[in-house]
Amino acid sequence: MSMRLPVLGLATAGSGLLLAVLPGLPWYSADLPTGSAQLSGYAATGGTWILPVAGVVLAAAGLLTTWWRPRTGTRLARIVGAFIVMAAVVAVGWAARAALVPAVGVVAVRPGMPASPLGGDWIITVLPAAWITIAAAALAGMAGILLLTARPEDMIGAEDVS
Phi, psi of 22 (to 5 degrees): -60, -35
> Tell me, what's the pLDDT at 39?
83
In whole angstroms, what is the distance from residue 149 CA to residue 162 CA?
12
**Beta carbons of 94 and 64 less than 8 angstroms apart:** no
For the chain, give me the number of helices (H) and strands (E)?
6, 5
The whole model's pTM is what?
0.80
pLDDT at 118: 64
Question: Please, which residues bridge with residue 116 across strands?
Answer: 108
User: Residue 68: which residues within 8 A CB-CB, separation 6 or more?
Assistant: 76
Domains contained in the chain, CATH given: 4-155 (1.20.140)
Q: According to the model, what pLDDT value does residue 1 have?
A: 46
Element (H, E) at 27: strand 26-32
Distance CA 152, CA 80 (A): 19
Q: What is the pLDDT of residue 153?
A: 64
Q: Quote the pLDDT of residue 67.
A: 86
Distance CA 99, CA 109 (A): 25
Cα dist. 66→38, 81, 96, 114 in Å? 37, 12, 28, 54
Amino acid at 44: A
How many Cβ atoms from other residues are within 10 Å of residue 113's Cβ?
8
- Tens-binned pLDDT, residue by residue, of the chain (162 aa): 467 778 889 999 999 999 999 999 998 888 877 778 888 888 776 778 899 999 999 999 999 888 887 777 778 888 888 999 999 999 999 999 988 887 766 666 778 777 666 666 677 889 999 999 999 999 999 998 988 887 666 555 555 544
- pLDDT tens sequence across 100-135: 887 766 666 778 777 666 666 677 889 999 999 999
